[in-house]
Amino acid sequence: MTRHFLFALVALLLGAFILFWIRGSIIMDPDFGWHLRMGDVIRTSGIPYTDPFSYTMPSYPVISHEWLTDVVMSLLFPHIGYGGLAGIFAAIATTGLVFPLLLVTARERRFAFLPLFIAIMTLVNFVGVRPQVLTWFFFSLILYLVTDYRRLQRFFWLVPLLFALWANMHAGFVVGSIVVLLAAVYWYIQKRLSLRSLLLFVSVCVLATGVTPYGFRMWFEMLQSMSDANLHWTIQEWRPMIAHPYVVAWAYVLVSFLLVLRFWKRLSLFTLLLYGSFCIAGLLSMRHFPLWVVSSLPITITALQWLFQEVSVIPEGKRRFMQGFGVFFGIVCLLSLQSAVTLFFYRDPYPEKAALYLSLQSQEGNIFSIYDWGGYLIWKNPTQKVFIDGRMPSWKWQAPRGESNYAFGEYQQLLRNPDSFESIVTQYNIRMLVLPVGDSTLETAPLGQLSIWANQTAHLPLEESIGVAWLAKKAEQEGWQKVYEDEKTVIYQKPSERKFKDFAAI
């Protein structure tokens, strides 16, 4: 590979890091707050085995499957702030793109610019200060180690150690186990690995995932989430990719599919299984789509180089290839404006002023707020527990008296069925509703519509917005008083509990 091709790839990766950093700094993940607080709790009180943050399921046998990541974030945040953490996660995500480039030859790497660019503009919609980014990195590294037999022999001992670390940082290690199993079976079929070595390798990797404070219960937590059908249709990041308008992502799908379809006979069985399995997983759930992008990148690059070789023998083939390359690159650049619009028009949706207001109130009873705000309120108001947050959508069990069997189900019921309002409010002694407020000015302005679209793309689904509006209307019908309102938040309280300080002091 000539020097200018290498320079272009390095510049592109540097651009990816800057773009990931900007995106992570602007758009805060809804779970960031509870991750930070969980790290604080672990540092001060040790690993929790029941839920420390909710009043609906306080006895639930919680599994903090990102405990080590949470602790590291808790340690770093006071020194480098949110922007510093965004930079670290951007660097991790960018590094996860380096290993797929190392899986292709220097000759093939000359054709990496376009697939890599599309991959970057796809992943920018998913990146942020979130532990899932660590899974991208570990997944990419494991792929690099096991797809080449000589490399696997050399670093055989390293793979289980990576799984032990991965299992303590994010539950995505389960997908890594699938990669290891596919690779081990493939090398066995190729007669490079004996059956004994296959079983030993896979077993040691799986056993390494049990070296956690929760043992192998980590598997239960992840498999519970992956098999939860309700989760896949209600939580934004678990929904099928078809439900998300990421046009650059679909451009990548189109290019990669066509190339693999054209040259599938030249690909190994392992490559096809890897490509197909993670493609299905990625299309079925947006959460897994970045893993397919990472695993498909070297395959797409190689297939693009094969296409160039094929058209080179045709008169004017090279020239037409380069023209098509340039036209498609221009189209992708235009499609990438979607991400720029999201970042430019994005408004921080979190109730910053309302959280400060709540922290100054002394009250009896509990607070109800929306799912996406649970983590933020856990962070900003650590003395007040929440109804629901991002850890809880798959938590189901037979609860003790007075607690919830399924808090997320009750949350959905409250938003969808106003008739359940009184019973749920009474059961959990809810005295305050903290809800997002609609903005009629934004709704009527063309640029305001872009802002609403940008926020709904990143956070609140439309049907939940409708449910919140119903809930606010029901509270007013039941005589709840509006005690606070700003541009983002409205707070309702039962009349008998109106014992407030003067908000003018804030």
Co-location of 233 and 84 in the same domain: yes
Q: 40-61 burial, b for 16+ CB within 10 Å, e for fewer? A: bbbeeeeebeebbbbbbbbebe
- Within 8 A by CB and 6+ apart from 196, the residues are none
Q: Which of 298, 317, 345 corresponds to the end of one domain? A: 345
For β-strands 366-369 and 481-485, DSSP reports them as: unpaired
Please provide residue 433's backbone torsions phi and psi, each rounded to the nearest 5 degrees: -110, 125
- Within 8 A by CB and 6+ apart from 434, the residues are 351, 354, 358, 367, 368, 369, 373, 377, 489, 491
Co-location of 340 and 357 in the same domain: no
CA–CA distance, 198 with 453 (Å, rounded to integer):
49
Q: Going along 452-503, which residue ranges are E strands?
A: 481-485, 489-493
CA–CA distance, 490 with 501 (Å, rounded to integer):
17
Q: Per-residue pLDDT averaged across 31-55, rounded?
A: 96
pLDDT of residue 247: 85
pLDDT more than 90, % of the chain: 62
Helix or strand run (H / E) with residue 254: helix 247-263
- Within 8 A by CB and 6+ apart from 114, the residues are 304, 325, 328, 329, 332
Q: What is the DSSP letter of 386?
A: B
pLDDT of residue 453: 46
Co-location of 286 and 370 in the same domain: no
At which residue do the structure tokens 């606070």 appear? 484
Tens digits of residue pLDDT in 58-117: 999 999 999 999 999 999 999 999 999 999 999 999 999 999 999 999 889 999 999 999
Co-location of 12 and 101 in the same domain: yes
With CA atoms as reference, report the closest residue to 381 among 411, 355, 348.
Answer: 355
Co-location of 17 and 147 in the same domain: yes
Q: Let me know the angle formed at the C-alpha of 249 by 393 and 84, rounded to the nearest 5 degrees.
A: 65
Asked if residue 108 is part of any domain, the answer here is: yes
Q: Per-residue pLDDT averaged across 23-27, rounded?
A: 93
Asked if residue 58 is part of any domain, the answer here is: no
- Does residue 303 surpass a pLDDT of 60? yes
Please provide residue 312's backbone torsions phi and psi, each rounded to the nearest 5 degrees: -65, -25
- Does residue 282 surpass a pLDDT of 50? yes
Co-location of 19 and 116 in the same domain: yes
- Within 8 A by CB and 6+ apart from 174, the residues are 219, 222, 223, 226
Confidence of residue 501 (pLDDT cuts 50, 70, 90): very low
Asked if residue 126 is part of any domain, the answer here is: yes
Co-location of 316 and 396 in the same domain: no
Co-location of 255 and 378 in the same domain: no
Please provide residue 386's backbone torsions phi and psi, each rounded to the nearest 5 degrees: -115, 165
Between 29-33, 107-111, 191-195, 394-398, the lowest mean confidence (pLDDT) is in 191-195
Dihedral sign for Cα atoms in the order 54, 57, 61, 62: negative
Co-location of 405 and 304 in the same domain: no
Q: Give the tokens for residue 149.
A: 């037999």
Hey, what amino acid is at 200? L
* Per-chain mean pLDDT for the chain: 88
Q: Let me know the angle formed at the C-alpha of 460 by 455 and 465, rounded to the nearest 5 degrees.
A: 115
Asked if residue 241 is part of any domain, the answer here is: yes
Asked if residue 42 is part of any domain, the answer here is: no
Give whole-number Cα distances, 279 to 132, 201, 276, 413, in Å. Answer: 18, 26, 5, 33
Dihedral angle, C-alpha 20, 21, 22, 26, nearest 10 °: 100
Asked if residue 45 is part of any domain, the answer here is: no
CA–CA distance, 137 with 297 (Å, rounded to integer):
14
Q: Give the tokens for residue 165.
A: 């670390």
Helix or strand run (H / E) with residue 435: strand 430-436
Q: Let me know the angle formed at the C-alpha of 167 by 290 and 396, rounded to the nearest 5 degrees.
A: 85
pTM (two decimals): 0.90
How buried is 446 (Cβ within 10 angstroms: 0-12 exposed, 13-18 middle, 19+ buried)?
exposed
CA–CA distance, 90 with 87 (Å, rounded to integer):
5
- Does residue 220 surpass a pLDDT of 70? yes
Tens digits of residue pLDDT in 436-479: 986 433 343 444 444 444 444 444 444 566 778 888 888 998 89
Whether 392 and 408 have beta carbons less than 8 Å apart is answered as yes
Q: What is the DSSP letter of 400?
A: P
Co-location of 452 and 334 in the same domain: no
CA–CA distance, 14 with 6 (Å, rounded to integer):
12
pLDDT of residue 504: 42
Q: Per-residue pLDDT averaged across 396-425, rounded?
A: 91
Confidence of residue 225 (pLDDT cuts 50, 70, 90): confident
Strand partners, 263: none
Q: Per-residue pLDDT averaged across 236-241, rounded?
A: 83
Whether 271 and 264 have beta carbons less than 8 Å apart is answered as no
For the chain, the domain total comes to 2
Whether 426 and 415 have beta carbons less than 8 Å apart is answered as no
Asked if residue 291 is part of any domain, the answer here is: yes
Q: Give the tokens for residue 78.
A: 């006071």
Can you give the residue range of the structural domain that contains 421? 352-505
- Does residue 315 surpass a pLDDT of 80? yes
Q: Which of 328, 345, 362 corresponds to the end of one domain? A: 345
The three-class DSSP label of residue 369 is strand
Co-location of 454 and 338 in the same domain: no
Tens digits of residue pLDDT in 109-168: 999 999 999 999 999 989 999 999 999 999 999 999 999 999 998 998 999 999 999 999
Hey, what amino acid is at 147? T
Q: Which of 321, 345, 369 corresponds to the end of one domain? A: 345
pLDDT more than 70, % of the chain: 92
pLDDT of residue 328: 84
Between 208-217, 413-422, 452-461, the lowest mean confidence (pLDDT) is in 452-461
Co-location of 181 and 229 in the same domain: yes
Asked if residue 55 is part of any domain, the answer here is: no
- Does residue 393 surpass a pLDDT of 80? yes
